[in-house]
Structure 1
C-alpha cells in the first residue's frame, strides 16, 4: 500500500483482486459519513491517472459517469431537448442523428471528445451530405453537448469550436412548365391528393400550410354580402371563395412569418376541386365510422388524421410519374411553379410576394430568382385564365 497526494486530497493505492485500487479521502458529507473517491485499474500508474482525471472532474463540477459517451448525450437531447418542436422537425432530427451522428461519433467518451474529432467527423460527411444537412447534424451535436454542459456532464462544448464545412450541392428547386403543370393537374384527377395539388399549384401556399388548412378557413362570399363565411356553414353554392392561410404544421400552429398570414381568393378550378373533395371526404368519414378522428382538416388521412409529409411526397411522385415527367419532383415545387407561371403571365413581383406571404419582394426575388420575369397584373383571375375551362391539358 502506498500513500499519494493529488491536489488537496490524500489517499492510497493498494493491490486488489489481481489489479490495483486507488482511494482518495474527500472529507465528510452533510450526513457525517466519510466520503471516498475510488478508481480501479490493471496497473498502479493507470489507477493514478484515473484518480487525477476524477479530481479534475470533481474540482470543475463535472458529474458525468466515466463512460458517458457522445451517443448517450445525443440520445438524452433527443429525449428532452425537442419539446415544443413540430413533428416533422422531430422526425428529421431523429433520422439525422440515427444515421450520421450516433453511429459515427457516438462511441467517443464525451469528456474525451476533441475539436479535431468533430472536424474529422464533419469532413467525412462533407462528400455525401448537402451543406444544409451538414449544418443540421453539426447543430444536433452542438445542442446535445450544450444540454450536457447545463447538466454539468462536461466542461466545454468543443463542437462550438468547429466550423461546419461546405457539403455537396443540393438539388435546386425547379418549376413546372405550363404544359407540365397541366399534365400534373390531369394526372392528379384520380388521386386522393387531387385537391391538394390543385390548391397548392393555383394559390402557391406552402406544403406545411396546406396540410394544416381547416374547413372553417375555406370561406365563401354570399351574393350581395361583403363578408366571408365558412363553407361548413354556407356550403359551396356561391361564386367567390377564399382561403384563410393562417396556420401551418409548425410548432404552435403558426405560419412561417407574421406576413405569411394572408387571405387568398380561390381560382374557380381550386374552388371546384375543394367542393368535390369536401363531398368525397364526407363519404370517407361515413365509411371510417368510429375510426374517424375529426381534426377539421381539409387534407387528411382516410381516418381524419393529419397527413404525414413523407406520405404526401410519395403520393405526389406517383402523380408526376403518371404525368410523364418522372418521379424526382416534390410537393414544395408546386409553389415554385406557381411563382413561375404567375410571373410568365404578367403578375408583378410585389403581387407575387403578397400571394406567397413573403415579408418583401426582395425575399421573393432571392428565393425564386430563376422563376421571375418582368410583369404587370395579379392573382386568381390569372390562374383562371391559364387553367380555366377550355384550356387543353
Structure 2
C-alpha cells in the first residue's frame, strides 16, 4: 500500500491523496467490523505528500462577461450561466432535473415545477441538494436550498429547454429520459471530463486560455458577490455551507478582506479633516 500511494503521489495533489487514504481506512474498518480482515493496514500507512494542486482562481467581472458572451454559441451556455450566477457546485448542476426548476405562482403564493406550469412566469428558482458524502447521496429537506434565478439565468434555461425539445425529437427512440436539465444528445448524464473540455473551449473563445475549470465558476460567483459587499453569512447560505468558517477556509482567496471595512467606514465618517 505504501508503494501504491507513493506512485499516486507523482500525479495527484496532497489533498486528493489524503481523501483516497481516508476512504481506504474507512472501507477496511467496515471489513474489520464484519470480521473479514484482522487489522486495518491502511491505518499503519502515512499519507504521502503529492504534487502541488493547481490553485483555484476566479474570473473578474470583465472576464465573467467575456465568458458569458463566448458561451452563447455553446451547448453549455445555460450550464455556464447557472453556475456563474447562482454559485452551484458542478456536481449539483449536472444533477439538476427539470422538476427542480420552479416558477413562482403569485395567486397560490408557492413555487411549482416548470414541468407542470411551464416558463410563462416572471420569477424562477432552482432546488439544489447538497450530497451527504458520509451516507451516500441522500436528499433531505435540511440539505436543500432554493436559489432564486437572476433573469439572465431564467432566460438561458428557457432557451435551453426549447433546444432540448429539438434534441429529443432528433434522438427519437434513442432518447433516455432522465429528466436532466443538462445531458447528452440522447438524454444521458453528462460526463465531468466532457464538461471540462467544453468549458475550456469557451474560455479559449473568450480570450482567457484553457487553464480554467467549471468549478471556478463557483469561485467566481463568491468573488463577485464579495466584491459587491454581500455579507459572508449570505454568501455561505447561497453556496450551501453550514457556516461561514467553511466559506472562509475554501474561498479565502476570493473573499474581500473584511478587516479593511473598519478603516473604510471610519474614513467615510471622519474623512481627512481631522488629520494634522
The reply to whether residue 213 of structure 1 matches residue 96 of structure 2 is yes
Q: What is the CA-CA distance between 1:165 and the residue it aligns to?
A: 2.5
TM-score, normalised via structure 1 length: 0.59
Contact 1:212 1:248 in 2 (8 A): no
Q: What is the CA-CA distance between 1:153 and the residue it aligns to?
A: 7.8
The reply to whether residue 285 of structure 1 matches residue 207 of structure 2 is no
The reply to whether residue 133 of structure 1 matches residue 16 of structure 2 is yes
Match of 1:75 in 2: none
Counterpart secondary structure, 2:121: coil
Q: What is the CA-CA distance between 1:217 and the residue it aligns to?
A: 1.2
1:191 to 46, 57, 74: 74
Contact 1:211 1:248 in 2 (8 A): no
Match of 1:358 in 2: 241
Match of 1:332 in 2: 215
Mean CA deviation greater in 275-284 or 257-266: 257-266
1:165 to 37, 48, 53: 48
Q: What is the CA-CA distance between 1:161 and the residue it aligns to?
A: 1.3
Q: What is the CA-CA distance between 1:299 and the residue it aligns to?
A: 0.7
Q: What is the CA-CA distance between 1:133 and the residue it aligns to?
A: 3.1
Q: What is the CA-CA distance between 1:236 and the residue it aligns to?
A: 1.3
Q: Distance in 1 between matches of 2:113 and 2:60?
A: 34
Q: Distance in 1 between matches of 2:167 and 2:18?
A: 42
Structure with the largest fraction of strand: 1
- How far does the alpha carbon of each residue in 1:106-165 deviate from its partner, in whole angstroms, 9 at most, with x for none? xxxxxxxxxxxx445545654543212322454566567668867878654433212213
Contact 1:211 1:249 in 2 (8 A): no
CA distance 1:325–1:260, change in 2 (3 Å): farther
Structure showing greater radius of gyration is 1
Q: Distance in 2 between matches of 1:139 and 1:267?
A: 39
Contact 2:126 2:149 in 1 (8 A): yes
TM-score, normalised via structure 2 length: 0.83
Q: How many residues align?
A: 257
Match of 2:150 in 1: 267
Q: Distance in 1 between matches of 2:117 and 2:7?
A: 59
Aligned residue runs from structure 1 range 1-393, under 5 A:
118-119=1-2, 122-123=5-6, 125-139=8-22, 142=25, 155-246=38-129, 253-254=137-138, 260-373=143-256
Mean CA deviation greater in 157-166 or 348-357: 157-166
Mean CA deviation greater in 163-172 or 286-295: 163-172
Q: Work out which structure has the larger RCO, using CA pairs closer than 8 Å and 6 or more positions apart in sequence.
A: 2
Counterpart secondary structure, 1:220: strand
Match of 2:271 in 1: none
Q: Distance in 2 between matches of 1:206 and 1:279?
A: 24
Q: Distance in 1 between matches of 2:233 and 2:152?
A: 24
Q: Distance in 1 between matches of 2:29 and 2:36?
A: 10
User: What's the RMSD between the two structures over aligned residues?
Assistant: 2.7
Contact 2:131 2:143 in 1 (8 A): no
CA distance 1:248–1:313, change in 2 (3 Å): farther
Q: Distance in 1 between matches of 2:159 and 2:5?
A: 50
Q: What is the CA-CA distance between 1:261 and the residue it aligns to?
A: 1.2
Contact 1:208 1:249 in 2 (8 A): no
Contact 1:259 1:358 in 2 (8 A): no
